[in-house]
Structure 1
Amino acid sequence: MKFYLQICLTLLFSLPLFSQNTYYLEGKLGKSTIFMEITEYDNNYIEGNYFYQKSLKDIRLNGKFNEATYVLFFGNDYGEEEYQEKFELLKTTNDFSGKWKNKAGKTIAVQLKKIDFNKYNSLNNQEIENNLDLVKLSLLNFTQDSISTYKNQEIIWLKETHCNAPFFRLGKTFSEETKKNINTILAKTHTEMTLNQLSCSSPFSYNEGNGIEYSISIGFLNDNLLGYQIFSSYFCGGAHPDFGGEGNLIDMHTGKNYDIDSILAFDKSVTSYGDENFEQFSTYRATFFAPKLFKLINQNEKFGTSNNEDDYCDYTENEIWDFPQWNFTEKGIEFTPVFARVARSCEMAFLVDFEKLKPFKNPSFPYTL
């Protein structure tokens, strides 16, 4: 499952250079076990990342290498001034040794060797963005936090001990078969959220395990479907914080997660994101999805074209409805238009009730609206 925001964890500070070699390492920083990644780029530039076994939170590095000598910094652009941490390493084959320093002058020995990934297995076939996530998967620890109810059904909330990433599972009021099928899917989502949180860092600030503020809301539940939204407000480095929501609708029998185009079809040319013909998908969204969705919403809202140059919340612009966020609820589907960054404060949810959406139900969607 790919989040709407994708958490923007690709470093905005990375230079547009081509990578050459990447080393995945494990070993000791003094008495502490650490895991590290070092990637070489053109012009002898390197980027790195490491985490302690006890915390799992990424610490981003960058620096320079010259033949077998590697110098990486945290807290500065590979400069000698104002850095928080510094690694001075010597490479022999694929092993590294050297020392770590902090800005106070403390020095600790470092010994690293190539990771044998054969001893790490992907949990529940979890999709990973980085090889070091395989290590983290073996060290995650989910524990029960609280229990709530939704429509008289038990919802169990779990947390992960290394960071702030709450999420839920189905409780004892559900059948064993349903729990087995759906909780496996929910666990994979929770693991992805946790890995995102642990990776939410920059070369200039430490990851405290709360850079992404998750808000989870269950909006729909019956014998056939489970609807929920994951809203994320995040700052993982870069110029600005950001936020976004992702709607989910899971089939309680098959585990299928329906996207909005599997639920609604405003034209027979409907297609889904991820299909091979992205141009067809974009054309459908711009030509049919956006204008017809706006028409449904505007029946209640009565938006008019703004003549005020200072009013940038113009809800009549077609493109803001091309790829809206959505949330399946008991009353209908909420749609949130997506504005340019300068107007993100304009984003708010608009509910379209099921009665208005019924004529546009995708014929392949197996349930009534």
Structure 2
Amino acid sequence: MLKGLLRLAPYAAALFTLISAAHAEDGRRVFTGTLGKTPIVVELNTTQPDEVNGRYFYEKYHRDLALSGSLHESTLTLVEGENRYGEDEPLPTLKLEETSNGWQGEWQSPQGKKLPVKLAEAKLPAPTSMTLPFIATLPQSAPYEYLRLQGLKLKPAKKENFMGYDLQWWTEPESKISLFSVESGLPKDDLQRVNQQLLGRLWREVISYHGCLLQGGVNTDFMQQAEPKMISPAVVSLNISTSYYCGGAHPDFGDSPLNLDVRTGHPLSLADVLWVGAGKPLSHADRDSTGDQPLSASESEAYSTYQREVLVPWLIKQFTTLYPNEMKKPAEDDDNACDYSDESIWGYSPWYFTTKGLYLGPYFARVARACDAPDWSILPYSVVKQHPGAVKLQLPQD
């Protein structure tokens, strides 16, 4: 089954028919062509002629180079790269003239070397029935990223058995992003749905890696580790920890779990699993097949109010009963202590399933991030089952 899943759009572009690249709603347009004799992919936003911005990558290397400049009548003048840290170094430039289907002109290095540039409106390989659902959305939502993924492949890494389920790990070599697929232990259709989501998440993280590189420049740091937390006939749950520096004053780190309903393959929100408010749980639009559809404005406001006024006070009360020592408010003169009684740290908790219960983590400000991810903040399933969410799940016993 995995062999079929891995015959994805990034690996079979030559077999696809071609469709025209859609223009993004924000004005970005995508072009393909050559710089010298080397194939490139270019994204440009020329909606503000005096502040044109964009990026491009060589198909051989896949890493973005930033573009900025201006458009005067039909002449586009761009600078490649940025002097981010106060340098005053000369940078390569591009001077392009608009054509009926793109741009042409020349690239010039700071030393004076010149190479011709020819660009045409991008034609995208069309997704097929074997394309991951996430990747199949990219021609419309992110054609530039879709074209980048055409040249990237996953490599098999280690195998392991976790909770009786065989896992195959996969790595994208350039970013070193890794994640697993489930090879056995679930019905065939469930395996397919779950693995589509898992591999889709891997590719999302690859895109995030390249976004970090573009934003941070040469000093970028992006390290990630995925860890399965629980697999059962009902759920697949894992945590993704990322340590990153994408420019700015400080590096940072954080957790971004993924929790899947095995029956549907859809991502689960916390309200799908745990609901302590009045009435029925709020309807969450993130239970679609890709997890991309955001909450509506009214849903978002209602859920934010529920989190702040209902869920957080309830959660603090539960943890104070279960873990009185850990939740004890520290002395005012103890600047190094972690105050887990502070309501503000529980508003948007990263959460995942464990064999012992539902893990909900606090989120501290940067200065106190060492207090993140305590190992004790687990809500037993006996408590969770008393407050079921919008999705009926078969939860384990404590």
- TM-score surpassing 0.5? yes
Task: Flag the 1:76–1:184 CA change in 2: closer, same or farther, 3 A.
Answer: closer
Kindly state the Cα deviation for residue 158 of structure 1 after the two structures are TM-superposed.
0.7
Q: Which residue is 1:148 aligned to?
A: 160
How much does 1:174 deviate? 4.4
**SS of residue in 2 equivalent to 1:88:** strand
Contact 1:76 1:83 in 2 (8 A): no
CA distance in 2, matches of 1:227, 1:20: 35
Distance in 2 of aligned mates of 1:325 and 1:70 = 45
Please give the secondary structure, in 1, of the residue aligned with 2:306.
helix
Asked if 1:307 is matched to 2:335, the reply is no
Distance in 1 (CA, whole Å) between partners of 2:338 and 2:92 is: 45
Distance in 2 of aligned mates of 1:120 and 1:354 = 45
Instruction: Give the letter aligned to residue 320 of structure 1.
Output: I
Determine the structure 2 residue equivalent to 1:107. Answer: 114
Residues 32-71 of structure 1: CA deviation (Å, up to 9, x unaligned): 1000011125361111110111122222222223222222
Residue number in structure 2 paired with 1:139: 151
Tell me if structure 2 keeps the 8 A contact 1:147–1:156.
yes
Identity of aligned residues (%): 24
1:296 aligns with 2:302: no
Q: CA RMSD in A?
A: 2.9
Give 2:34's aligned residue.
Answer: 28
What does the per-residue CA deviation read over 1:100-149, in whole Å, with 9 as the maximum and x for residues that have no partner? Answer: 233444332211111123x4438333243522122123333122112111
Question: Residue 42 of structure 1 aligns to which amino acid in structure 2?
Answer: Q
Give structure 2 stretches of 5+ with no counterpart. 1-24, 285-294
Check if 1:159 corresponds to 2:166. Answer: no
Q: Return the offset for 1:196.
A: 2.0
1:213 aligns with 2:219: no
Are 1:192 and 2:204 matched, yes or no? yes
Aligned counterparts of 1:40 and 1:282: Cα–Cα separation in 2: 37
1:245 maps onto 2:255 in alignment: yes
Instruction: Check 1:97–1:293 CA distance in 2 against 1; reply closer, same or farther (3 A cut).
Output: same
Query: How far has the Cα of 1:356 moved from its partner?
Result: 3.8
Q: Which amino acid aligns with 2:161?
A: T
Alignment of 1:227-246 (within 5 A): 227-246=237-256
1:62 aligns with 2:68: yes
Helix, strand or coil: the match of 1:147?
Answer: strand
Instruction: Show the counterpart of 1:367.
Output: 394
Does residue 335 (structure 1) correspond to residue 360 (structure 2)? The answer is yes
Q: Is the 8 A contact 2:346 2:363 kept in 1?
A: yes
Residues 267-306 of structure 1 mapped to structure 2, 5 A cutoff: 267-269=277-279, 270-271=281-282, 274=295, 276-299=298-321, 300=323, 301-304=326-329, 306=331
In structure 2, what is the equivalent of residue 13 of structure 1?
Answer: none
TM-score, normalisation: structure 1: 0.83
Partner of 1:38: 44
Aligned: 1:130 with 2:155: no
Are the counterparts in 1 of residues 66 and 82 from structure 2 also a CA contact under 8 Å? no
Distance 1:86 1:64, change over 3 A: same
Change (3 A) 1:310 1:43: farther
Q: Distance in 2 between matches of 1:249 and 1:285?
A: 19
Q: 1:163: how far off?
A: 2.4
Q: CA deviation at 1:30?
A: 1.4
**Runs (5+) with no aligned partner, structure 1:** 1-18
Secondary structure of the residue aligned to 1:158 is strand
Residue type at the aligned position of 1:351: I
**Are the equivalent residues in 2 in contact too, given 1:290–1:321 (CA < 8 A)?**
yes
| Per-residue Cα deviation, 1:280-314 (whole angstroms, up to 9, x for no partner) | 11111011110111122223123215423845843
**Aligned equivalents of 2:303 and 2:187: distance in 1?**
38
Higher mean C-alpha displacement, 145-154 vs 38-47: 38-47
Report the equivalent of 2:5. Answer: none
Tell me how far apart the structure 2 counterparts of residues 33 and 323 of structure 1 sit (CA, whole Å): 43
Distance 1:50 1:77, change over 3 A: same
Q: Alpha carbons of 1:138 and 1:302: their partners in 2 closer, same or farther (altered >3 Å)?
A: closer
Structure 1 position 353, deviation (Å): 2.7
Q: For residue 105 of structure 2, what is the aligned residue in structure 1?
A: 98
2:26 and 2:373 mapped to 1: Cα distance?
A: 44
Query: CA separation in 1, counterparts of 2:166 and 2:243?
Result: 27
Structure 2 match to 1:16:
none
Q: More helix per residue: 1 or 2?
A: 2
* Mean CA deviation greater in 350-359 or 318-327: 350-359
The aligned counterpart of 2:93 is 86
Deviations 1:13-32 (A, max 9, x none): xxxxxx98533211111121
Paired letter, 1:218: P
Return the letter of the residue paired with 1:271: L
Q: In the alignment, is the contact (CA less than 8 A) between 1:96 and 1:111 conserved in 2?
A: yes
1:225-265 deviations in Å (ceiling 9; x for gaps): 21111222222333333322122222223213221111111
Matched AA of 1:344: R
